[in-house]
Amino acid sequence: MTTLSPDILTALEGQGIELPSWAFGNSGTRFRVFTTPGTPRDPYEKIADAAQVNAYTRLAPSVALHIPWDKVDDYSDLRRHAEDLGVRLGTINSNTFQDEDYKFGALTHHDDRIRQKAIDHHFECIEIMDATGSRDLKIWLAEGSNYPGQGDMRARQDRLQDSLQKIYDRLSDEQRLVLEYKFFEPAFYHTDVPDWGTSYAQVASLGDKAMVCLDTGHHAPGTNIEFIVMQLLRLGKLGSFDFNSRFYADDDLIVGAADPFQLFRIIFEVVRGGGLNNPDVAFMLDQCHNIEDKIPGQIRSVLNVQEMTARALLVDREALAAAQQQNDVLAANAVFMDAFYTDVRPALAEWRESRGLAADPMAAYAASGYPQQIAADRLGGTQAGWGA
Ligand code: LRH
Ligand code: MN
Ligand code: MN
């Protein structure tokens, strides 16, 4: 069995992955939203389910909220609820993609009334952050156009800058803004923040508290995502990850499921660039569980990130550097692949037990009785998140 050195175990112990509240709600495609027994009926129940993931893995200490999906009367009360269950409230996600007014844009809109409405929504999110103790405001914009000539792309970029500046100026010294990019969808011709370069240009002109959010599902097929990770870390602007995996577009599948090797390569660059367990770089999941059970789906996800982190930490970086110096292409590649092919699961299971956790968190959750309990307790509830 492969053993993990004390240094690697210390690094793994420091790992924390933020869970998205919306992963616990029903979700689907535009064709059908399937339900799952025991689906949470409100943000309180979503947080309770997220706390289960943390209880079995000790890997998920915080939960991201999406506003207005997770709107409640009293955010301080929601915060207490989370803390009573041993988790924190994390990133606050704004939402300008489900309001009729935003059909032709929100932060980029040429109509001042609509643009101000979108800015005000972000001010409201910042007030929520004050109550929840959240550090990050995450902005993803569904804005763009479908046909050439439809919009003035340059004027939209200028208005975006102005809107973001107004939002940025509202942040406290402890708060940050992270701007997520996505190459297409829902707009099909042009998107106002389509790539890391645009996000970087926008946040760089705002200031130090603005960073880029990299969602692993938001790139064209074949994109070398680990190169982008390297570059953003180099520039000091990688604020957070939205982890998920994809076969085709923004599939939002379980991280590491579609392409474990890509996840390994990404995390290797994180390690190489000093981003692991670095508070500046938040690890989050952004996933939906359309057909599989949600809590086990999230447990599987954080374990996948942990396993690939352990493998990335196993790369013999001295041997790698030596092979690179000698231009020994195959030796360098072999060092890299040796780590990727190492099965760390038995060592991680043993380590978990040494920390009082179950060796197999998936099995322990399945045997806990919680799935049956929520299925019985939450009958007749309304759907949460995407299905709302
Ligand atoms: C957009 C996105 C963004 C949203 C989330 C629900 O595709 O990745 O992060 O907030 O999905
Ligand atoms: Mn995302
Ligand atoms: Mn997405």
pLDDT at 384 over 50: no
Lowest mean pLDDT among 61-70, 225-234, 371-380: 371-380
Query: Minimal CA–CA distance to 370: which of 261, 293, 285, 279?
Result: 293
Q: Which of 286, 288, 289, 290 to probe ligand 1 with, by most ligand atoms within 8 A of CB?
A: 286
Q: Following DSSP, what letter does each residue of 215-274 receive, concatenated?
A: ETTSS-TT--HHHHHHHHHHTT-EEEEEE-B-SSSS--BPTTTS-HHHHHHHHHHHHHTT
Q: Which tens digits make up the pLDDT trace of 66-118?
A: 999 999 999 999 999 999 999 999 999 999 999 999 999 999 999 999 999 99
Residue 304 near ligand 1, beta carbon < 6 Å: no
Atom of ligand 1 nearest to the CA of 386: 6
Q: Which tens digits make up the pLDDT trace of 317-365?
A: 999 999 999 999 999 999 999 999 999 999 999 999 999 999 999 999 9
* Residue 128 CA to ligand 3 centre (angstroms): 23
The DSSP 8-state label assigned to residue 23 in this structure reads G
**Token match 């690094």: residue?**
11
Q: Using pLDDT thresholds of 50, 70 and 90, give the confidence band for residue 379.
A: confident
Q: State the Cα–Cα distance between residues 319 and 86, nearest whole angstrom.
A: 41
Residue 215 near ligand 1, beta carbon < 6 Å: yes
Which pLDDT score, from 0 to 100, does residue 250 have? 97
Helices (H), 15-71: 43-57
Q: State the Cα–Cα distance between residues 386 and 3, nearest whole angstrom.
A: 42
Residue 70 near ligand 1, beta carbon < 6 Å: no
Q: State the Cα–Cα distance between residues 176 and 118, nearest whole angstrom.
A: 18
* Residue 326 CA to ligand 2 centre (angstroms): 40
User: Please, are residues 380 and 40 in contact by the beta-carbon 8 Å criterion?
Assistant: no
Atom of ligand 1 nearest to the CA of 22: 6
pTM of the model: 0.97
**Token match 């380590």: residue?**
351
Amino acid identity of 47? I
Residue 122 near ligand 1, beta carbon < 6 Å: no
pLDDT at 387 over 90: no
Which pLDDT score, from 0 to 100, does residue 385 have? 58
Q: State the Cα–Cα distance between residues 320 and 328, nearest whole angstrom.
A: 10
pLDDT at 2 over 90: yes
Which pLDDT score, from 0 to 100, does residue 386 have? 53
Q: State the Cα–Cα distance between residues 236 and 239, nearest whole angstrom.
A: 8
Residue 250 near ligand 1, beta carbon < 6 Å: yes
* Residue 212 CA to ligand 3 centre (angstroms): 14
pLDDT at 307 over 90: yes
Query: Minimal CA–CA distance to 123: which of 163, 63, 150?
Result: 163
Q: Which tens digits make up the pLDDT trace of 259-291?
A: 999 999 999 999 999 999 999 999 999 999 999
ipTM surpasses cut 0.95? yes
* Residue 287 CA to ligand 3 centre (angstroms): 8
Overall average pLDDT of the 26-51 stretch: 95
Q: Which ligand is nearest to the CA of 21?
A: 1
pLDDT at 381 over 80: no
- The average confidence (pLDDT) of the chain is 97
Overall average pLDDT of the 38-55 stretch: 98
Compute, in degrees rounded to 10, the torsion defined by CA atoms 235, 239, 242, 246.
Answer: 0
Share of the chain above pLDDT 90, in %: 97
Q: Within 13 Å and on the Cβ side, how many CA atoms surround 359? A: 6
